[in-house]
Amino acid sequence: MNKVEKLKQLNETLNQYRDSYYNDSKSEISDALYDVLYDELVELEKETGIIMSNSPTQTVGYEVKSKLEKVRHSHPMLSLDKTKLASDLVEFANDKDCLLMHKLDGLTILLTYENGELIQAETRGDGEQGELITHNAKAFTNVPLKIDFKERLEIEGEAIITYDNFERINSRLPEDKKYKNPRNLVSGSVRQLDSEIAASRNIKFIAWKVPIGIDTNSMCERLMIVRFMGFDVVNYWAYANKSSDRENIHNMIQNLKCRAKENGIPIDGLVMSYNDIEYGKFLGTTGHHPRHSIAYKFYDEESASTIKEIEWSMGKTGDLTPVAIFDDVEIEGTTVSRASLHNVSILKDLQIGIGDEVTVYKANQIIPQIRDNHTRSDNVIIPDTCPVCDGFTIIVKDNDTEVLKCNNPECKGKLLGRLTHFCSKNAINIKEMSESTIEFLINKGWVTRFDDLYHLDIYADEWTKCAGFGKKSVYKLLDNIEKSKNTTLDRFIYSLSIPLIGKTASKAIFKHVNGDITDFYDKLINGYNWTALGDFGATMNESINSFGRHNCLWIKELATNFIFEIPKQNAQNYGMNILEGKTFVITGSVNHFKNRDELKDRIENLGGKVSGSVSAKTDYLINNEKTSNSSKNKKSKELSIPIITEEEFLSMINN
């Protein structure tokens, strides 16, 4: 046993004796022997330069803060990319040595030392700034207050509460105050203003990264060095680039799971990181996560919450979607309080009721969803009148799915949804025309149909006198409406909210009629067979023709407001269908285009197609992150579909 281990053991032993003496009135050893052990601890602290936060030699008073101050981190503390496949870990490691370690389920903390003393502790927060919790970190059971290291040292790790301590603390709390899991308990404890509360919770700090201070390029060596300084370090396996480790990955995972369970350590997965720190830095980051590590999740992060109410939200087609409103919960680093239930069928299947306890998660770590309802009181009444216009509602079955619709064709909610879509960026693109402004115009009675937007100048004087608007903002908006008259046919078609006709279908129609509004209108009123376009099936064909039969007159009138142009890029390449017959999928961030829509436009203007998902019909996946573990990358590899970068795409079309 080395001196640091001996020091930590003496801390634990003496604290047990002190607990028995002061709390249970028991003397487990004589005063003389206690003094011998105490003196030995004092000498070890002098020799090693290490003083732990729980050392009996320290009489640190508890500190109460008036508030938790914000602090900007010295470096970004980003969350990690995630996977649920062990094979992705092998693929991530490739030919590099890695560490496979516990993904601790607590609160991420950054400790900073200068001249051997703990000077600052901060929470991860939003990754750019967190909260100062130095007063509470000094009350953790295993944080060194002093170390034998004079340079600046930063250590990232996790504040955790072990399962046995969690059960002990929870058992003392009334039912309505109990915590759901150790993560919630440690988060609430660390962010207290009074450090005495943190001290009573037996919080541990487990180090898993040393970003600043130790001059070695090996992650493993850095963790070993801070272990000798007195820090508890995360459990890990060294993963080497050899066939035995690749074949043994499942055993490594199971071993780490067992070690966590045996020690009562809360984990929600594992993390694999490159041992070569400089290589990891060289790979850089995406907008969301660093490329030096990947998290292997055992399951979706989820949390329990209570339903407060059900809102009915209207879409542009008149569908009324139930939205569950529940108590705030934190999932995947963000606060969530609402989730769409999509339709009446799902509402009924979950038997949702007000006051029900539900499990909430994020599908693909993005979209809030309700996984299960534990109460199932089924007391939500499906409204028989529209919450927007008070018109009657009806339940319509669509492929065995029940959908609630407003039956009033003049419903302002339908108009609001359709007008908001009409003005949106990818449609007619009336800049600064917000949903709240559209709602204002509808309520004033100035806009009752799309065409009215182009005659708002008659209300200009009255509009400038309305609360929330001024002369400058009104005339700027009128100018933006005027500018929107110069558009392209594909945008116009997309803006109409034709069921099943999205951006891709609108562009296909645009190309088919050569951008000619007259040709489009003729085909629309004469029931053209749109299946001639290839990707249009019978359902899409019926949808556009049905829409045309019922709306052709106002569409023709609306079109008179516009000057339809062929986009400049399309004019340059018109007839140069070099991507004809090729289907692309785009994922990830882009560098050479403003956004993915601009890249999509380039492909379609050159005769290609863009799909939202990878399938056997896909020819290329464009992704600047070829080594990413995204679902689209995985699917492309399974189907042997080439993954190309933007640079490779540009080379393809410019050669």
The tokens 């008179």 sit on which residue? 560
Tell me what pLDDT residue 23 has.
55
| pLDDT 10s digits, 412-440 | 888 888 899 999 988 999 998 998 899 89
| pLDDT 10s digits, 61-95 | 555 565 788 898 888 888 888 888 888 898 899 88
Max distance between CA atoms of the chain, in angstroms, equals 105
> Which two structure tokens, joined as six digits, stand for 490?
């594909």
| pLDDT 10s digits, 570-590 | 444 444 578 888 899 998 878
If one compares 110 and 602, the residue with the highest pLDDT of the two is 110
Q: How deeply is 60 buried, as exposed, middle or buried, from its count of CB atoms within 10 A (0-12, 13-18, 19+)? A: middle
Q: How large is the average pLDDT for residues 397-415?
A: 81
Distant-in-sequence, close-in-space partners of 515: CB < 8 Å, separation ≥ 6: 488, 489, 490, 564, 566, 570
| pLDDT 10s digits, 261-295 | 999 999 989 999 999 999 999 888 875 688 999 99
103 is a catalytic site residue: yes
Chain-centroid distance, C-alpha 561: 41
If one compares 184 and 27, the residue with the highest pLDDT of the two is 184
**Which of 8, 67, 96, 103 does the annotation list as catalytic?**
103
Alpha-helix runs per DSSP H in 82-181: 86-93, 134-137, 163-171
Q: How large is the average pLDDT for residues 443-465?
A: 91
Closest CA to 268 of 240, 243, 296, 293: 296
| pLDDT 10s digits, 144-183 | 999 999 999 999 999 999 999 999 988 888 877 788 788 8
> Which two structure tokens, joined as six digits, stand for 604?
């379609």
Residue pair 505/535 in contact (Cβ under 8 Å)? The answer is yes
C-alpha torsion sign, points 595, 281, 268, 249 = positive
Segment among 211-215, 335-339, 530-534, 583-587 with least mean pLDDT: 530-534
Tally Cβ neighbours within 10 Å of residue 132. Answer: 17
- What values do phi and psi take at 130, rounded to 5? -135, -165
Tell me what pLDDT residue 570 has.
46
Q: What number of CA atoms fall less than 13 Å from residue 354's CA on the CB side?
A: 8
3-state SS of 250-271 is: HHHHHHHHHHHHHHCCCEEEEE
* CA separation for the pair 9, 516 (Å, rounded): 83
